[in-house]
Amino acid sequence: MNSQQRGIADDLFASGRVPPCILAFVDCWTSLGGSQFLDSPATGKYHSYFCDEIVSFVDAHYRTKASRDHRAVAGKSSGGYGAMITPMLRPDLFCAFATHAGDALFECSYLPLFPANIRALREEYGGSYARFLEEHRKRPALSKPSDLSLLGDWAMSACYSPKADGSIELPYDPVTGRLREEVWARWLEKDPVRMVARHADALRSLRAVYIDCGKRDEYFIDLGATAFRAALADIGVADVYFELFDATHSAIEYRYPISLEYLAQRIA
């Protein structure tokens, strides 16, 4: 927990608006960036780590109500993605979640970024991800404008389309830009919007669902949030906190107390 997060939580609890609860801040960062909270041979078993190790550790060391009915998960961006998919995959552990701008509707949030990344790869690294990664390790991280987006494609591929041996398959040809349909299909299988129908029973069992996103999100995740909410409605989950507010993808930490209060009141 950083000082800003601690301050946000302390102020909320001091206000008396929420019942007492325990907050556990989980580090699932990898050498490539976020883990998306998924098990992957390319990055590690981060979903298993979160669900099987962190949850049991917190229950063993703190005075928790150790049941799914008193346990929620929340996050922003990649953490918001993890918050969406974890109760679907492990409804035995969590009864509620909050997602702030969590990755969803991949054809809007990821696919539009591919052409610019392929062009940057061509112009700066001769179309070679190996050259990009080698150079990136030798200089300050994210010191070139294209770094974040190029690293994002590689890191997401590590989470969504790794090979069994831990090597990484990109969803596009880095030279021609042609979409690799079979690999892209593996990404779409992990899209929360598309996962809803496959995990309908788990989602219908939840006690609280919170979704929000900035209307000017640079990755168009506001569209993903809207699509995710609609998919939930399609399976009969209508009692959802949903809000699109005036912001981008960044500097939305001020939204955290809203979701924390919402979740805490429903799992108390």
DSSP for 155-207 reads: HHHHHHSB-TTS-B--SB-TTT--B-HHHHHHHHHT-HHHHHHHTHHHHHT-S
Euclidean distance between CA atoms 21 and 18, whole angstroms: 8
Tokens of 119: 């062009």
Taking only the tens place, the pLDDT of each residue in 120-136 is 999 999 999 999 999 99
260, 18 Cβ separation under 8 angstroms: yes
Q: Which of 246, 245, 247, 240 is nearest to 262 (CA)?
A: 240
The greatest distance separating any two alpha carbons of the chain, rounded to the nearest whole angstrom, comes to 58
Other CB atoms within a 10 A radius of the CB of residue 171 amount to: 23
pLDDT of residue 63: 95
The mean pLDDT of the chain is: 95
Other CB atoms within a 10 A radius of the CB of residue 57 amount to: 11
Residue 39's pLDDT band, with cuts at 50, 70 and 90, is very high
Residue 83, judged by CB atoms within 10 A of its CB (0-12, 13-18, 19+), counts as buried
Identify the DSSP state of 223.
H
The interaxial angle of helices 147-160 and 114-125, nearest 10 deg, is: 120
215, 222 Cβ separation under 8 angstroms: yes
Residue 29's pLDDT band, with cuts at 50, 70 and 90, is confident
Q: Mind listing the domains of the chain with CATH numbers? A: 3-104+193-267 (3.40.50.1820), 108-187 (no CATH)
pLDDT of residue 1: 58
Residue 28's pLDDT band, with cuts at 50, 70 and 90, is confident
Tokens of 202: 């788990």
Which one-letter amino acid corresponds to residue 164? A
pLDDT of residue 30: 87
pLDDT at 2 over 90: no
Predicted TM-score (pTM) of the model is: 0.96
Lowest model confidence (mean pLDDT) among 4-13, 62-71, 163-172: 4-13
pLDDT at 5 over 80: no
Residue 191's pLDDT band, with cuts at 50, 70 and 90, is very high
Residues 6 or more apart whose Cβ sits within 8 Å of residue 231: 193, 196, 197
Cβ-count burial 115-141 (b if 16+ within 10 Å, e if not) = eebbebbeebbebebeebeeebeeeee
Residues 6 or more apart whose Cβ sits within 8 Å of residue 224: 102, 103, 104, 105, 106, 108, 109, 192, 193, 213
pLDDT of residue 187: 98
pLDDT at 3 over 80: no
